[in-house]
Structure 1
Amino acid sequence: MMINDNILPPKLILLDAVGTLFGVRESVGDIYSKIAQKWGVNVCPKTLNQAFYKSFSAATPMAFPGADMAEIPQLELAWWRDIAAESFKAVGVFQEFSDFPKFFDHLYQEFATAEPWVVYPDVIPTLTKWRNCGIELGVLSNFDSRLYPVLEVLDLGGFFSTVTISTEVGAAKPDPKIFAVALEKYDFQPGEVLHIGDSLTADYEGAKSAGIAGVLVERDTPSTPDKASYSTLAEIEFNCDR
């Protein structure tokens, strides 16, 4: 499917990371549960997964306006540790950890490796095609600074000229500020840029509020048929011959 065969391809595509380029290999609950088991804490992965997403959804945006850059790694860790603690408290096993901060340090570092993640099969072929088409590529994500090593170990880093993350900007999608900061790294106008992500609010509507075209990639069942929505990146095609 071609977005519009009557227009040139965008000069720049900004892509979300988790849920767009790569996802969790199992579920968050599975990974949390497996590592907790090594600490002698047994918990149902499905129940823990539900608790995690409830805690994650209730959390404040992962952005730290005014924070010194040197403080950001510890602020990121504390943000995630609070979500994890609330998740384990919700399923009634938090008190079983002999040293929760130490356990969480282990858990946190796990997600900086390739082990929990899987690159969607359409991603590398599509990014290669877009790059060969002359399109500049960047990452725009509400993830934390672990994204840099994760992109490298997943063999994705070489595709992107820039990476913009909410914790370093001090604003998270859908805030227009993070889109503006990403654009400042290039000499392109908003109308020459496309943002692709998996969140209707953060990605599609966020891009629109920043004056950028947005496209949704809903890898499960599409829930927004009235929007520019696709199930894979491979479905998003451009006429590079024009």
Structure 2
Amino acid sequence: MAQPHQTQQLPLTLSQEGLDPPQVIFLDAVGTLFGVRGSVGEVYRDFTRQQTGIELDAEATNTAFYEAFDAAPPAEFPELITQKKPGSFLLEQEFNWWLAIAQDTFSRLGVLVQFPDFQNFFEHLFAYFATADPWIIYPDVRPTLRHWRQQGIELGIVSNFDSRLYTVVDSLDLAQFFTSVTISTRVGAAKPNPQVWYSALAAHNCPPEAAWHIGDSYREDVEGAIAAGLRGIWLNRP
């Protein structure tokens, strides 16, 4: 079984450290390729103020969001895959999953009752996160992706995001680098479940031992990838 490798920026010369170049490199999305501009709390604060005039404390909002996020079930809907439901059912499930987290977040802040129509407000917030505006690409990303593509290495994304990821990656002008984008909600399994990597590997006709996965979560990205037979690389950004 492959051992984890740790780095504080996207690796450019891992082959010089005794690692053979892979056929495919998979990367996590949020926290690896791009992150929230500032913090979730700051984005929520600014968006809420602009849309409703309700004032939030950014730090408290950030804490409440991650508490709600950690308490939520995995973003995976295997019953939709099994039942072969239309895509509209999946999009509705994704929206409702995030709606529950947002309601929990604002409830923890004690301001949920101040919204006359919270679902309508959240529809706009949900759509906002499908644009490029709340995101920032880490400076090491583009040079690294270009370097790998020049080496002939295939690239893919494996993420526990949702279907908005396609739009976000495209709006950030990153889609050009990737052959595949594998999302937990569309596979019916979320990292660290190995099944999400098996689906991604199938898209490249690649055996696990010929692939790397890089991500910022040790449990989800590194341990999950290793369990699936890939080399897991921890991107431990400062």
Matched residue type, 1:62: A
Measured in 2, the distance between the counterparts of 1:153 and 1:186 equals 24
What is the Cα deviation at residue 4 of structure 1?
A: 4.5
Shift of the alpha carbon at 1:3? Answer: 3.1
AA paired with 1:177? Q
| 1:109 counterpart (127, 130, 144) | 127
For residues 1-29 of structure 1, the C-alpha deviation after alignment (integer angstroms, 9 at most, x for no partner) is 74343443001000000000000011111
Distance 1:36 1:205 in 2: 37
Partner amino acid for 1:15?
A: L
What is the CA–CA distance in structure 1 between the aligned matches of 2:216 and 2:78, rounded to whole Å? 25
User: How many percent of aligned residue pairs carry the same amino acid?
Assistant: 48
Q: How many residues align?
A: 220
Work out which of the residue numbers 33, 36, 40 in structure 2 matches 1:28: 40
> 1:1-242 maps to which residues of 2 (within 5 A)?
2-5=13-16, 6-37=18-49, 38-67=51-80, 68=85, 69-220=87-238
Residue type at the aligned position of 2:14: I
TM-score (norm 1): 0.88
Amino acid at match of 2:41: G
Q: What is the CA–CA distance in structure 2 between the aligned matches of 1:36 and 1:150, rounded to whole Å?
A: 21
Partner amino acid, structure 1, of 2:142: I
Q: Distance in 2 between the 1:116 and 1:35 partners?
A: 10
**Long gaps (5+) in structure 1:** 221-242
Question: Deviations 1:34-88 (Å, cap 9, x if unpaired)?
Answer: 1221213211111011000000011100011121233111111110111011010
Q: Secondary structure at the match of 2:99?
A: helix
Q: Which structure is higher in helix share? A: 2
Tell me the SS of whatever aligns to 2:155. Answer: strand
Q: Distance in 1 between matches of 2:19 and 2:74?
A: 36
In structure 2, distance between residues paired with 1:115 and 1:30: 13
CA distance in 2, matches of 1:203, 1:144: 17
Output the TM-score relative to the length of structure 2.
Answer: 0.90
> Could you say what the CA RMSD is over the residues aligned between the two structures, in angstroms?
1.1
State how far apart, in whole Å, the 2-side matches of 1:126 and 1:47 are.
Answer: 35
Distance 2:205 2:89 in 1: 30
Give the 3-state SS of the residue equivalent to 1:66 in structure 2. helix
Paired residue type of 2:179? S
SS of alignment partner, residue 185 of structure 1: helix
Q: What is the distance in 2 between the residues matched to 1:7 and 1:187?
A: 21
- Unmatched segments (≥5 aa) in structure 2: 1-10
Task: Specify the SS of the correspondent of 1:13.
Answer: strand
Shift of the alpha carbon at 1:117? 0.2
Counterpart of 1:50 in structure 2: which amino acid? T
Shift of 1:215: 0.2
Q: Distance in 2 between matches of 1:182 and 1:218?
A: 23
